[in-house]
């Protein structure tokens, strides 16, 4: 097909044009996604080269969040540009729609990589962890290659560093435990460099590189196992304290933690940092390769994580899944054409924005999608008078076991991830939804739990950045009512309605009578909790 014919096809299908007015190829995009990397507890500290090569050469977002603090729902949000209530991936299980047949049929054909390939003529490359249940027998095994990927090198199931299986364009390849050929972070780096060496030079490309680090089992490369020997988990003001006035799952944590728990989490913290040093090497190799091939100046590079992590906050030893900053806030660094270096952006952004942003870069009309997110391109280019959101939704559906944990029989069924010392990190009724608000007047989080208590947590992060004091019973009643109503609106939003003005936007309008019309059940719950 001639370039003119290709441009016409892409115009019809959704991309504005195949090339820019000067005839240059559309920008390339690289998305590097880590696994469980926090930003609130120093998770970026080991990544000095990444900060220098991406953050210092472009923009760092200081308020980047995920709409669900768990791997599979968060990754589904990245791919679809949607909140969990719209892509319906609620946890890490097949039953929770993680890589299920339903996900494959309903959501996968409309992910942003599928649109990039089919409508914009991009060659697309994936390497690493996809979704936690990818490759499971009930999900079609590793023979399933999602639509939209020209080159597919996906990890079977959850993060590992050795002894894993990759789907190589639908064919299984097993790896062992020989560092030089099997260490997954390095394997992903080498596959990425090979793609850049042998790809077509006539089409733009998109790469998604999804590392296992710093997810458990925290196995560092041999050369890094002695690093950070004197490092411990941060002892900030919410470390090893009782989570008073919080949901029962937080209150059940044992305070003070045992010495064995503290030793366990300190060791995990150190090992997590060690695994990230190989990610830092991957970023350096990738940037050097792009520069060597003359592609760097025409390539956007995004670096982020699927969720945060905690190590000892409110006496919860290690995990994610909670509504607090340490679990929902993630790093986001971006460099690329038109982005000035050494910038920090304080706007409230979310990983549902990545898909619309990358499609916008490619010239796709994002108004034709059903995505809930917004394009970050105006922020990256520092456009003036940009209208931006002041709030976003965080939602999570808890996971619990039907049977008792054999190591903690006294806890009974319904809880999960009870380690160490039988402190449970999740349960069926650890199910909540929050509005995270960041505006000129408020830095606020409002959360409701879907449980018998109808428990509410509210935090003023201006006065209480570590979220120690739940002010649900003392905050102004009008604010509480407005936040309750805004939460109901966001939980039922889709597409453009997810981007309507928040409670503290000048354009926000609140009619309390509406609380008792379309949302009678939730309104009754609210009247119960506020009485």
**DSSP per-residue codes, 413-461:** SSEEEE-STT-EEEETT--EEEEEEE-SS-EEEEEEE-STT--EEEEET
Instruction: Give pLDDT, residue 21.
Output: 39
Distance, CA of 26 to CA of 235 (rounded, Å):
47
Instruction: Give pLDDT, residue 19.
Output: 46
For 233, half-sphere exposure in the C-beta direction (CA atoms, 13 angstrom radius) is 26
Confidence band of 251 (pLDDT split at 50, 70, 90): very high
For the cut 80, the answer to whether the pLDDT of residue 522 exceeds it is: no
Mean pLDDT, rounded, for 364-368: 96
Q: What is the pLDDT of residues 297-316, one digit of tens each?
A: 999 999 999 999 999 999 99
Mean pLDDT, rounded, for 216-237: 98
Mean pLDDT, rounded, for 489-513: 90
Quick one: what percent of the chain has pLDDT higher than 70?
92
3-class state of residue 185 by DSSP: helix
pTM assigned to the model: 0.94
For 484, half-sphere exposure in the C-beta direction (CA atoms, 13 angstrom radius) is 30
Among the options 15, 71, 424, 498, which is catalytic?
71
For the cut 90, the answer to whether the pLDDT of residue 528 exceeds it is: no
Confidence band of 409 (pLDDT split at 50, 70, 90): confident
Expressed in angstroms, the distance from the first to the final Cα of the chain is 69
Q: What is the pLDDT of residues 255-275, one digit of tens each?
A: 999 999 999 999 999 999 999
Mean pLDDT, rounded, for 500-509: 91
Higher pLDDT, 29 or 15: 29
Instruction: Give pLDDT, residue 521.
Output: 39
Cβ pair 394, 328 in contact under 8 A = yes
Instruction: Give pLDDT, residue 529.
Output: 37
Alpha helix stretches (DSSP H) within 329-436: 354-362, 377-380
Instruction: Give pLDDT, residue 512.
Output: 66
Q: Which of 8-12, 260-264, 339-343, 411-415 has the lowest mean pLDDT?
A: 8-12
Mean pLDDT, rounded, for 179-207: 97
Instruction: Give pLDDT, residue 23.
Output: 53
3-class state of residue 499 by DSSP: helix
Instruction: Give pLDDT, residue 411.
Output: 84
Instruction: Give pLDDT, residue 480.
Output: 95
Per DSSP, the residues of 228-273 read TTT------TTBT---TTS-HHHHTS-SSPPHHHHHHHHHHHHHHH
Q: What is the pLDDT of residues 443-498, one digit of tens each?
A: 999 999 998 888 999 999 999 999 999 999 999 999 999 999 999 999 999 999 99
Give me the residue spans of the domains in the chain: 28-390, 394-515
Mean pLDDT, rounded, for 83-95: 96
Confidence band of 519 (pLDDT split at 50, 70, 90): very low
Q: What is the pLDDT of residues 26-82, one digit of tens each?
A: 999 999 999 999 999 999 999 999 999 999 999 999 999 999 999 999 999 999 999
For the cut 60, the answer to whether the pLDDT of residue 1 exceeds it is: no
Instruction: Give pLDDT, residue 304.
Output: 99
Instruction: Give pLDDT, residue 17.
Output: 53
Distance, CA of 410 to CA of 457 (rounded, Å):
28
Instruction: Give pLDDT, residue 9.
Output: 47
Instruction: Give pLDDT, residue 410.
Output: 83
Average pLDDT, the chain: 92
Catalytic residue at 493?
A: no
Q: What is the pLDDT of residues 113-159, one digit of tens each?
A: 999 999 999 999 999 999 999 999 999 999 999 999 999 999 999 99
CATH topology of domain 28-390: Alkaline Phosphatase, subunit A (3.40.720)
CB neighbours of 484 closer than 8 A, spacing ≥ 6? 446, 448, 515, 522, 523, 526
């Amino acid at each position: 097909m001639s370039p003119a014919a290709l441009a016409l096809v892409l115009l019809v299908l959704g991309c504005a044009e195949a090339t820019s007015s000067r005839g240059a190829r559309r920008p390339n995009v690289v998305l590097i996604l880590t696994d469980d990397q926090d930003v609130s507890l120093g998770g970026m500290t080991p990544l000095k080269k990444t900060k220098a090569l991406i953050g210092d050469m472009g923009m760092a977002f200081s308020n980047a969040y995920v709409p669900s603090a768990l791997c599979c729902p968060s990754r589904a949000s990245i791919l679809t540009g949607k909140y969990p209530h719209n892509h319906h991936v609620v946890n890490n299980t097949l039953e929770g729609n993680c890589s299920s047949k339903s996900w494959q049929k309903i959501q996968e054909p409309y992910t942003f990589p599928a649109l990039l390939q089919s409508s914009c003529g991009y060659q697309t490359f994936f390497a690493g962890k996809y979704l936690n249940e990818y490759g499971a027998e009930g999900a079609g095994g590793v023979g399933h290659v999602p639509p939209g990927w020209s080159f597919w090198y996906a990890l079977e199931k959850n993060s590992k560093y050795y002894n894993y299986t990759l789907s190589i364009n639908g064919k299984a390849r097993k790896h062992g435990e020989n560092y030089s050929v099997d260490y997954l972070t390095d394997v992903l780096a080498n596959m990425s460099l090979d793609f850049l060496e042998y790809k077509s030079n006539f089409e733009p490309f998109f790469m998604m590189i999804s590392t296992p680090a710093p997810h458990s089992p925290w196995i560092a490369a041999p050369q890094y196992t002695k690093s950070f020997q004197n490092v411990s988990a941060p002892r900030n003001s919410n470390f090893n304290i009782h989570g008073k006035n919080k949901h029962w799952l937080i209150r059940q944590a044992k305070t003070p933690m045992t010495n064995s728990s503290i030793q366990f989490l300190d060791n995990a913290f150190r090992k997590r940092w060690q695994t990230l040093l190989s990610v830092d090497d991957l970023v350096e190799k990738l940037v050097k390769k792009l520069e060597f091939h003359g592609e760097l100046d025409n390539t956007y590079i995004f670096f982020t994580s699927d969720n945060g992590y905690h190590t000892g906050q409110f006496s919860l030893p290690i995990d994610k899944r909670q509504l607090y900053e340490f679990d929902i806030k993630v790093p986001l660094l971006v460099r690329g054409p038109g982005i000035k270096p050494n910038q920090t952006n304080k706007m409230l952004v979310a990983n549902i924005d990545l898909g619309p942003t990358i499609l916008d870069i490619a010239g796709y009309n994002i108004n034709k999608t059903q995505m809930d997110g917004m394009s970050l391109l105006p922020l990256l280019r520092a456009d003036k008078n940009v209208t931006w959101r002041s709030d976003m939704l965080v939602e999570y559906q808890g996971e619990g076991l039907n049977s008792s944990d054999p190591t903690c029989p006294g806890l009974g069924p319904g809880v999960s991830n009870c380690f160490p010392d039988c402190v449970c990190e999740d349960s069926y009724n650890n199910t909540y939804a929050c509005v995270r608000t960041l505006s000129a007047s408020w830095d606020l989080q409002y959360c409701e739990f879907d449980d018998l208590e109808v428990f509410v947590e509210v935090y003023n992060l201006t006065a209480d950045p570590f979220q120690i004091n739940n002010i649900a019973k003392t905050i102004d009643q009008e604010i509480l009512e407005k936040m309750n109503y805004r939460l109901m609106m966001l939980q039922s939003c889709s597409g453009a309605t997810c981007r309507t003005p928040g409670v503290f936007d000048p354009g926000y309008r609140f009619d309390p009578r509406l609380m008792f019309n379309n949302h009678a059940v939730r309104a009754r719950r609210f009247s119960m909790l506020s009485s």
